[in-house]
A = this chain, B = another copy of it.
Amino acid sequence: MVNTIKVTVWNEFRHEKEMEECKELYPEGMHSVIAEYLSELNMDVNKATLDEADHGLTEEVLDNTDVLIWWGHCAHNEVKDEVVDRVHQRVLSGMGLIVLHSGHFSKIFRKLMGSSCDLKWRCADEKERLWIVKPNHPIVKGLNKEYIELAEEEMYGEFFDIPEPDEIIFLSWFEGGELFRSGCTFSRGRGKIFYFRPGHETNPSYYNKDILKVIGNAVTWAADNSKLDVNFGNVQPLEEL
């Protein structure tokens, strides 16, 4: 009775080919590690990358996507506006979107947020603690701890120029003195969006079981959507009620 969730994991997939350190860590790409985890949850998982035709995000692929996961960094500008508009329309129509890490600066996230989405950052392999500040939320199901600790991560710091999130699930503490709203939900149209801060391309964050659990929970949360039909436009005439 519960339908299988159809999820597409999108990755820029350049660092893994071009940076030795990243290639060793994620030989088949970060998206493949995430996709494998989601498959174990019995989700129907598809992978898509920048260098495919239409970036792997054709109308047909999106027709078969309940939730899209997005990782991008060095090539945000290579994503075609036409594809960004297509994804934007789908989100407004109810497709879920999980934006990871440097995806904060992707065209699609900025278009949905309406603000610059800029932030502070530092690459120093420093300690991050993601504190849970909404312990009743479905996205933290099964964590059994009060924070997730990552021994080495890139730092992202405030001010993070996003609109007020609907919900803040995680706040990150960093060794060097900064903090960050690192797990935030948003609603746009009928779509549900989750921004999740980890992981940097040279840190093994997507092998962390808790990080994977959060991503899996977020997909389930984003797919839990009524997607009611709504009508826009002219309503005529004025009825006698």
Q: Which residues of A contact B (CB under 8 A)?
A: 92, 94, 111-116, 118-122, 124, 126-127, 129, 131-146, 155, 157-161, 163-164, 166-168, 171-179, 181, 186-192, 224-239, 241
Per the bound structure, the CA–CA distance linking A113 and B113 in Å amounts to 7
Copies of the chain in the assembly = 4
- Contact partner of A226 among B138, B175, B241, CB < 8 A? B138
Interface on chain A toward B: helix, strand, loop, or mixed SS? loop
Check A241/B177 contact, CB under 8 A, given A94-B136, A226-B141, A235-B155: yes
8 tightest Cβ-Cβ pairs between the two chains A and B: A135-B228, A124-B238, A118-B232, A114-B114, A136-B190, A112-B114, A159-B230, A141-B226
Inter-chain contact A176/B241, CB cutoff 8 Å: yes
A21 to B172, CA, bound (A): 34
Shortest Cβ distance from A167 into chain B, in angstroms? 8
Cβ contact within 8 Å between A228 and B124: no
Shortest Cβ gap from A170 to chain B (Å)? 10
Which of B120, B168, B175, B181 is close to A238, meaning CB atoms less than 8 Å apart?
B175
How far apart are the CA atoms of A79 and B2 in the complex, in Å? 40
For A92, A114, A118, A176, which residue has the most chain B Cβ atoms within 10 angstroms? Answer: A114
Report the nearest B residue to A119, measured CB to CB. B232
The answer to whether B187 and A228 touch across the interface, beta carbons within 8 angstroms, is no
Contact B239 A176 (CB under 8 A): yes
Q: B136 contacts A232, CB within 8 Å?
A: no
